[in-house]
Amino acid sequence: MSILKKPLVTEKMSAMNESGKYGFVVDKSANKVEIKKAVEKAYGVTVESVNTMVYAGKSKSKYTKSKVIAGSTSSYKKAIVQVAEGEIIDFYGAV
């Protein structure tokens, strides 16, 4: 599970699940072939395509009484996986 970090469970991704597309946060160094093999092994589905995108971290600042605290959010890589027709991935099966 070092390639697949966590599934993306948002409103937008839930709407895409109906068309057979699922989102995952993946390791930054993973390529599309590794992501495809990891999803097929973990969930037992046939993957047709993988689209990836890297999100850069954003700088954030917070104003407090004594000073300004500055930091940044971490960057991550997101993968959108298209599974074969009729197959589904159940994220809530073990809950």
**Full-prediction pTM beyond 0.95?**
no
pLDDT at 28: 94
Domains of the chain: 4-83 (3.30.70.330)
pLDDT at 92: 75
Name which of 38, 47, 52 is nearest 1 in CA terms.
38
- Please say if the pLDDT value at position 70 is more than 90: yes
Q: Are 49 and 19 in contact (CB under 8 A)?
A: no
> CA-CA distance, 42 to 27, in Å (whole number)?
15
- Section 85-92 average pLDDT: 86
Q: What digits encode the pLDDT tens for the residues 5-59?
A: 999 999 999 999 999 999 999 999 999 999 999 999 999 999 999 999 999 999 9
